[in-house]
Amino acid sequence: MFRKLYLFFILFFSNAIFSQVSNPDFYREDQFYLSIYYNSVKNGVDQLKENKFSSSLNLGLIRDFPLNKSGKFSLGLGLGLGINSLNNNLRFDNNILSFNENTQDIQKNKYNYTELQFPLEIRLRNSSIDKYRFWRLYAGLKYSRIIDSKFKFENSSQNYIQKNTPINQEQLGVTLNVGFNTWNLGIYKSVRPFFSNPDFPDFKLFKLGLVFYIL
C-alpha cells in the first residue's frame, strides 16, 4: 500500500512541476506547502483536560486551476500527508473510552495518527506571473483518510500501546489560510465527530497554526 502511495505522490508532484516549466506563459501557482498546527478536540467539553502540546505536521502540494486569465482567482486541488498527536485525559483501553480523573500519576495519554489529505480550495490573491510576494486568502474543504493510528498510555503501574483506535477514519473540515508571501495563518475546523464512538459525538477537531508555501 505504501509503495503505491509513494508512486502516486511522485507522479502527482512531477506532473505539477513539469507542467509549470513547459508552459511559462500560462500563469498558475503550483505550491508545495508545509504547515504546523496546534491540535484540539475539546470543543467545549468540560470533562476533557488537554495537556502538553498536541501538534500536526503536514506536507503536500495543491495543484492550481486558474478560473480567470490573470490567475488571481483559482481553484486548488491537492494531496498531502499529515502526522498528528493529541495529548489529553481521554483514555482508550480494551475498546472503551473513559476520562482519567486523576492525571497526576499519568506520564502519557497520547493519540498518534497519520492521514492522507485531499484539500479543495477557492483561492484569491493579488499575484502576477512575475510577482512572488503577494497577499492570499484561500478557503475550502479538506477531506482526510486516516491510514494509521495508535494510543499510548503510561502511569506508575501500566504501560501499553493500543492500535485500531476509535478515531473516525474519514475526517472532513473547513479550512481558511490567510497571509502574505510564505507566512500564512491556517485554521481548520472539523464538521464531523473526531471519534467514531457514538457516546462521544461532541469532540470535533480544531487546528490553528502556520502554513508555509515553498514554491
Q: Residue 212: is its pLDDT beyond 80?
A: yes
* Residues 87, 39: Cα–Cα separation, whole Å: 9
* Residues 47, 45: Cα–Cα separation, whole Å: 6
β-strand partners of 173: 142, 190
Q: Residue 1: is its pLDDT beyond 80?
A: no
How much of the chain, in percent, has pLDDT values that exceed 90? 55
Say whether 72 sits in a helix, a strand or coil.
Answer: coil
pLDDT tens digits, one per residue of 52-92: 899 999 999 998 888 888 888 999 999 999 999 999 999 99
What does the pLDDT read at residue 42? 87
pLDDT tens digits, one per residue of 46-61: 888 888 899 999 999 9
Q: Whose CA is closest to 202, among 188, 190, 214, 210?
A: 190
How much of the chain, in percent, has pLDDT values that exceed 70? 87
Q: Residue 211: is its pLDDT beyond 50?
A: yes
**Cell, residue 101:** 480523573
Q: Pick the residue with more confidence: 28 or 194?
A: 194
What does the pLDDT read at residue 11? 54
What does the pLDDT read at residue 137? 96
β-strand partners of 1: none
What does the pLDDT read at residue 185? 98
The secondary structure of residue 13, as a DSSP letter, is: H
* Average confidence (pLDDT) over 27-50: 87
What does the pLDDT read at residue 69? 81
pLDDT tens digits, one per residue of 134-162: 899 999 999 999 999 999 999 888 899 99
| Residues ≥6 apart with Cβ < 8 Å to 121 | 62, 75, 76, 77, 78, 138, 139, 140, 175, 177
Residue identified by cell 492500535 is: 163
* Average confidence (pLDDT) over 125-140: 86
User: Residue 135: phi, psi to the nearest 5?
Assistant: -85, 145
